[in-house]
Chains A and B, each alone.
Chain A
């Protein structure tokens, strides 16, 4: 069986190397992907239509907003599934086994001080990444992951209870749902005002500025929703994995 797998890998590798010769050059402006009129439209018209310099975020949150909304739902569903599989309510003795002891019980001075200094900076940077996501690289997913990672760092440095003081389980689920609610809310608001679902241009009736500014501001709002969900689900996954679903003693 191992030989068979090896042969399959070799043949696939040869085929891939053969196909690689037909690829366009890297960054070739005449390549099919760059020549297609839809991508031409994105590249040339994004700034005039949305006043957003980062066209990646513009495509993700505006032109392909429907995709991104359900990507957020995918993350939410993954978090709920992990809670459903791992979370243990009450104390069942058959699931008890030896807790792994990775850290000393007493908080270490160096670790503690470093985290005390680092965590506010990490959280500030995460907020910057979310808020500035449509002007520079970043956005809701990255900012949310960084914000969730700051709570994971707190849980690793101290213990799970300290981190859960800030993000208890009920708040995690509320945040995760609120994120999707914000995202879908922008879509429904556009629908109510007479536009299409997630057509941010119509939101100019509610938001200051012209149509382009409304699209830019709606992108920011949508990114904030994504960040809520991702932050909550990242911390929820970590705390379930680390405490074996008991939410008591983490790593």
Chain B
């Protein structure tokens, strides 16, 4: 794998992880968590673990983001802490 891509993805991974923890709006936190999963999927596929990348893309970035969003819409949209 080209190491520059590796560095870019890892930096964005840390950035999205921090943002999804820090942001007050829970809907955008859920969306950014989906972005995190997708970057993770890119990393897995870069390492040749295609099966894991596939699962991460389908479950992490796809379905669990939908589950989180539908949960957020049933509670408060703003985080209180």
Contacts and interface: CB of A to CB of B under 8 A. Distances in A.
Contacts of B73: 100, 102, 242, 251
A238 to B, nearest CB: 6
Main secondary structure of the interface of A (DSSP, over half): helix
B54 A137 contact: yes
B70 A145 contact: no
A201 interface: no
Interface in B18-65: 47-48, 50-51, 53-55, 58-59, 62-63
A142 B55 contact: yes
B66 interface: yes
B71 interface: yes
Interface in A207-251: 234, 237-238, 241-242, 244, 251
A156 B63 CA distance: 12
Nearest to A137: B50
A138 B66 contact: no
Contact of A142 (B54, B66, B67, B74): B54
A172 interface: no
Main secondary structure of the interface of B (DSSP, over half): helix
A241 B67 contact: yes
Interface residues of A, number: 26
A138 B54 contact: yes
Contacts of B66: 149, 152, 156, 238
A186 interface: no
A145 B58 contact: yes
A242 B70 contact: yes
B81 to A, nearest CB: 11
Contacts of B70: 238, 241-242, 251
Contacts of A187: none
B48 to A, nearest CB: 8
Interface in A14-52: 26-27
Given A137-B50, A138-B51, A237 B67 contact: yes
Contact of B63 (A56, A100, A137, A148): A148
A183 interface: no
A57 interface: yes
List the 6 closest A-B pairs by CB distance, nearest first. A137-B50, A145-B58, A242-B70, A56-B51, A241-B70, A100-B73
29 contacts: A26-B47, A100-B73, A100-B74, A137-B50, A137-B51, A138-B51, A138-B54, A141-B55, A141-B59, A142-B54, A142-B59, A145-B62, A146-B58, A146-B62, A149-B58, A149-B62, A149-B66, A152-B63, A156-B66, A238-B63, A238-B66, A238-B67, A238-B70, A241-B70, A241-B71, A241-B74, A242-B73, A244-B74, A251-B70
Interface of B: 47-48, 50-51, 53-55, 58-59, 62-63, 66-67, 70-71, 73-74
Given A137-B54, A149-B62, A241-B74, 4 more contacts: A27-B48, A139-B51, A142-B55, A242-B70
